[in-house]
Amino acid sequence: MGSIIGAMGCSSSVADRRSENVIRAAILIQKWYRFTMARLEMRRRYSLSIFQSIEYADEQDQLQLSNFFTFMLDHCTHPESVSQIFTSPSAPQVVDEDLCLKEFEKKIDVPDSYYGPRLSFPLTVEDANALLHAFRNEQLLHARYVLQLLSETRRVLKEMPNITHLSTSYSKEITVCGDLHGNLDDLLLIFYKNGLPSEQNRYVFNGDFVDRGKNSMEILIILFAFLLIYPNDLHLNRGNHEDYIMNLRYGFTKEVSKKYKDHWKQILCLLRDVFSWLPLATIIDSKVLILHGGISDTTDLDFLNALERNKLKSLMRPPKSVRNRQDQMKKRIPTTKPSKHIANQHVAGKTQHISSSGFTEPPGSNLPPDPALKEWKQILDILWSDPRSQNGCTPNKCRGGGCYFGPDVTAKLFERYNLKMLIRSHEFKPEGYEISHDGKVITIFSASNYYEEGSNRGAYIKLNPELTPRFVQYQVSKFTRRRNLRERVGTIESSALKSLREKIYAHRSELISAFAQYDINGTGRISVNDWAAAMESVLQLELPWRMLRSQLAQMNPDGEVDFMSCFYDLKMGQPIKEAQPALAETLCRYRKDLEIIFNIIDKDHSGLISLEEFSQTWRLFTSHLGIDIEDDSIDKLVLSIDYNKDGHIDFNEFLEAFHVVHRLEKKATS
């Protein structure tokens, strides 16, 4: 009996030990899983921070480029090639407001070989369904129908107020969508999940329909078609990208010119007008304000509702009276020639902004009040501003336009207009939405996979009669589901670091100078803190540089950073021996800006411009930005790439020589 009890006790203790081991193993696995997930989340977050910082820096560059266009018009000896971006095109390109639908039929023939949708006006739901079907199959709508659609859209928009008022009493819910940025798949998925627009299924689309994505034109056509069919049930607000100068940089202009080679100028001319007629905001049940960007401490909804919104075709180019006013202010303030370091900061766009909050006049200024200035400031703020957690209203230096507004600014506006909620878009959010200011401000962002496949979800809001928001998230999944989380994060991280390294290489000389200030003994090594400080002082991206150090630079056994290792894996695309290092770096940094400028000068889109136009444009560009490059160096370079000596150069081929190549990637793919 004793032996039986002993055996039972032994087996019990063995079972207990096994149970303890299982629990320990489970705890270890759980700790490992949590640690792994935390590291993946950290990598995902800093990757998204890199993308967003570079995006905002690019917006500052766009402002700098817009300023240059104005400068170019004032100083170019042949300004007619540039003036087309600011003034009405020549007579054959103009789309007359009184041009009726029948006249488009006479002027533009649709061949029998065209198998896409054939629209007849007024449009029906069947027409909208035909468009959806065609775009799912990557068909184009013929230019005649595009122009007819845009002409009708302008006619309808002109009858709409600046601020649209809606009521939930006419339908159970209203759906609010944020930025789409040319991502057609997101719009199709929203309609699949939430239903097509109708009298019972009302929508508000809150701007930024275009740019960045490849199907901006298709999104506009679909939204405008439903607007014509249901003008009281589908509503559109203007975003900061419904702006023809923004479209030059971010892809929409290029998209239209490629898709509609024969009629792109007419389409863009008409779109410029259509964008200017888009309403500025929507208010639901007198309680929920919906606008694209945000507000400032001077936002006046009554003033916004009364101004002539179509006068401002682009916020990137303030009215002439505003520019004259700025010039008068500059003359009153004594200036000295900036140092090279300050000039470089100026070039990077860090010292310039068009924030209305930052637009101040010196004390004692006797300049008279300017209505055009107030209109520009008011619209600029609602299209460009972002919320922040701190009280107050300050210039939005990251974007270079609009302001940061705090909870106190929101509360003040709500009290004045008896509002309950502000819904805005304009900002990337990893989950597709974000709630701030104690639930009073909601950001909604509807473009999933915005930076990279798998980088974020999109979302839309459902508002019921009680005005309680319900969020619906989604993500277009072409490849994402085939990858595990580690692979998805790795792809996002790799893409973000690639963009950051290109930014680093484009500022190579400035970074080396900044590193040298800390490297007193000329060892080529500095501390991690000094390396991080130098990186931020030059790039001004507000990134966690210490965390990123292992991805960007090598460290020696003593814990110091070999700062030149930042550039080891990068080089210029196709080195041209005539290009001096300083010149090559400058061309690399401003490659995107120069491409936009040269495409404007290239009227016939042949890809060729004359040596004279190239040289003059380059001198104006460097003069405006304060870049110190000797004239003879660019002259020698230009002559060297005129291969057939006909006095013209292929500028796209030329600029391709100044892009950054990642050596490790090149080896991997070869």
Per-residue model confidence (pLDDT) at position 345: 37
Residues in the chain: 670
The number of angstroms, rounded, from the C-alpha of 423 to the middle of its chain's C-alpha atoms is 19
Query: Which of 8-17, 563-572, 580-589 is predicted least confidently?
Result: 8-17
Q: From CA 383, how far away is CA 315, in angstroms rounded?
A: 9
Task: Specify which of 34-48, 502-516, 623-637 reaches the highest per-range mean pLDDT.
Answer: 502-516
Q: Return the closest-CA partner of residue 225 out of 128, 344, 156, 89.
A: 128
Is the model's pLDDT at 321 over the cut of 70? no
User: What amino acid occupies position 293?
Assistant: G
The structural domains of the chain, with segments of one domain joined by +, span: 581-669
DSSP strand pairing (433-436 vs 441-444): antiparallel
Please enumerate in sequence order all residues whose Cβ is within 8 A of that of 647, keeping only pairs 6 or more positions apart, or say none: 610, 611, 612
The pLDDT-based confidence of 451 (bands split at 50, 70, 90) is: very high
Torsion from C-alpha of 618, 622, 627, 631, nearest 10 degrees = 50
pLDDT, tens digit, 9 for 90 and up, residues 130-185: 999 999 999 999 999 999 999 999 999 999 999 999 999 777 899 999 999 999 99
Per-residue model confidence (pLDDT) at position 148: 95
* Average pLDDT of span 618-636: 73
Of the two residues 251 and 226, the one the predictor is more confident about is: 226
Is the model's pLDDT at 669 over the cut of 50? no
Please enumerate in sequence order all residues whose Cβ is within 8 A of that of 603, keeping only pairs 6 or more positions apart, or say none: 81, 84
% of the chain at pLDDT higher than 70 = 78
Per-residue model confidence (pLDDT) at position 365: 53
CA angle 220, 226, 228 (to 5 degrees): 100
Q: Which residues of 437-456 are buried (b: 16+ CB within 10 A; e: fewer)?
A: beebbbbbbbbbbbbbbbbb
Query: What is the Cβ-side half-sphere exposure of residue 116, based on CA atoms within 13 angstroms?
Result: 20
Query: Which of 1-10, 295-304, 457-466 is predicted least confidently?
Result: 1-10
Please enumerate in sequence order all residues whose Cβ is within 8 A of that of 141, keeping only pairs 6 or more positions apart, or say none: 116, 117, 119, 131, 134, 149, 221
DSSP one-letter string for 295-325? --TT--HHHHHHS-GGG-S-TTS--HHHHHH
What is the overall mean pLDDT for the chain?
Answer: 83
Spatial strand order in the sheet of 393-395: 386-387, 403-405, 393-395
| Residue 333 three-state SS | coil
Is the model's pLDDT at 577 over the cut of 60? no
Query: What is the Cβ-side half-sphere exposure of residue 527, based on CA atoms within 13 angstroms?
Result: 5
The pLDDT-based confidence of 324 (bands split at 50, 70, 90) is: low
Q: From CA 107, how far away is CA 246, in angstroms rounded?
A: 30
Q: Where are the alpha helices (DSSP H) in 385-448?
A: 407-417
Q: From CA 478, how far away is CA 484, in angstroms rounded?
A: 14
Tokens 């208010």 belong to which residue?
283
Q: From CA 101, how far away is CA 32, in angstroms rounded?
A: 67
Query: Please, are residues 550 and 497 in contact by the beta-carbon 8 Å criterion?
Result: no
* Average pLDDT of span 324-328: 61
Q: Where are the alpha helices (DSSP H) in 545-662?
A: 545-552, 581-589, 591-601, 611-625, 631-641, 651-656
The number of angstroms, rounded, from the C-alpha of 269 to the middle of its chain's C-alpha atoms is 22
564: DSSP letter: G
In this structure, the number of other CB atoms found within 10 A of the CB of residue 666 comes to 11
DSSP strand pairing (570-572 vs 234-236): unpaired
pLDDT, tens digit, 9 for 90 and up, residues 30-85: 888 788 778 888 888 888 899 889 898 888 777 777 777 766 655 554 445 545 54
Query: Which of 211-215, 348-352, 586-590 is predicted least confidently?
Result: 348-352
Asked about 235 being catalytic, the answer comes back as no
Is the model's pLDDT at 1 over the cut of 70? no
* Average pLDDT of span 438-448: 97
Per-residue model confidence (pLDDT) at position 339: 36
The pLDDT-based confidence of 93 (bands split at 50, 70, 90) is: very low
pLDDT, tens digit, 9 for 90 and up, residues 353-392: 455 554 444 444 555 567 788 999 999 999 999 999 999 9
Per-residue model confidence (pLDDT) at position 657: 64
| Residue 394 three-state SS | strand
Token pair belonging to 14 = 């063995």
Query: Which of 158-167, 563-572, 633-642 is predicted least confidently?
Result: 633-642
The pLDDT-based confidence of 594 (bands split at 50, 70, 90) is: confident
Is the model's pLDDT at 483 over the cut of 80? no
* Average pLDDT of span 112-141: 96
Per-residue model confidence (pLDDT) at position 97: 56
Does the CA dihedral 115-271-209-428 come out positive or negative?
positive
Is the model's pLDDT at 274 over the cut of 80? yes
Q: Return the closest-CA partner of residue 355 out of 392, 294, 409, 402.
A: 402
Q: Which residues of 161-193 are buried (b: 16+ CB within 10 A; e: fewer)?
A: ebbbebebeebeebbbbbbbbbbbbbbbbbbee
Spelled out in words, what is the top-level CATH class assigned to the domain 581-669? mainly alpha
Query: Which of 113-122, 516-525, 649-658 is predicted least confidently?
Result: 649-658
Catalytic residue among 142, 235, 241, 624: 241
Per-residue model confidence (pLDDT) at position 9: 59
Q: Where are the strands (E) in 396-495, listed by range?
A: 403-405, 421-424, 433-436, 441-444, 458-463, 469-474
User: Rounded to the nearest 5°, which phi and psi values hold at 434?
Assistant: -155, 140
Per-residue model confidence (pLDDT) at position 88: 44
* Average pLDDT of span 180-202: 97
Per-residue model confidence (pLDDT) at position 172: 81
Is the model's pLDDT at 203 over the cut of 70? yes
Q: From CA 421, how far away is CA 406, in angstroms rounded?
A: 14
The pLDDT-based confidence of 99 (bands split at 50, 70, 90) is: low
| Residue 69 three-state SS | helix
Spatial strand order in the sheet of 554-555: 525-526, 561-562, 554-555
Measuring CA to CA, how many Å separate 184 from each of 124, 180, 358, 433, 477?
Answer: 21, 8, 36, 19, 13
Per-residue model confidence (pLDDT) at position 28: 84
The number of angstroms, rounded, from the C-alpha of 177 to the middle of its chain's C-alpha atoms is 17
Q: Return the closest-CA partner of residue 216 out of 275, 291, 262, 282.
A: 275
Per-residue model confidence (pLDDT) at position 370: 72
In this structure, the number of other CB atoms found within 10 A of the CB of residue 261 comes to 10
Q: From CA 23, how far away is CA 483, in angstroms rounded?
A: 31
Query: Please, are residues 628 and 89 in contact by the beta-carbon 8 Å criterion?
Result: no
Torsion from C-alpha of 229, 231, 236, 238, nearest 10 degrees = 110
Q: Return the closest-CA partner of residue 151 out of 211, 95, 220.
A: 95
* Average pLDDT of span 222-239: 98
Please enumerate in sequence order all residues whose Cβ is within 8 A of that of 309, keeping only pairs 6 or more positions apart, or say none: 162, 238, 276, 277, 278, 279, 280, 379
Per-residue model confidence (pLDDT) at position 77: 47
Query: Please, are residues 469 and 433 in contact by the beta-carbon 8 Å criterion?
Result: no
Q: Return the closest-CA partner of residue 633 out of 653, 615, 652.
A: 615
Q: From CA 596, how far away is CA 165, in angstroms rounded?
A: 39
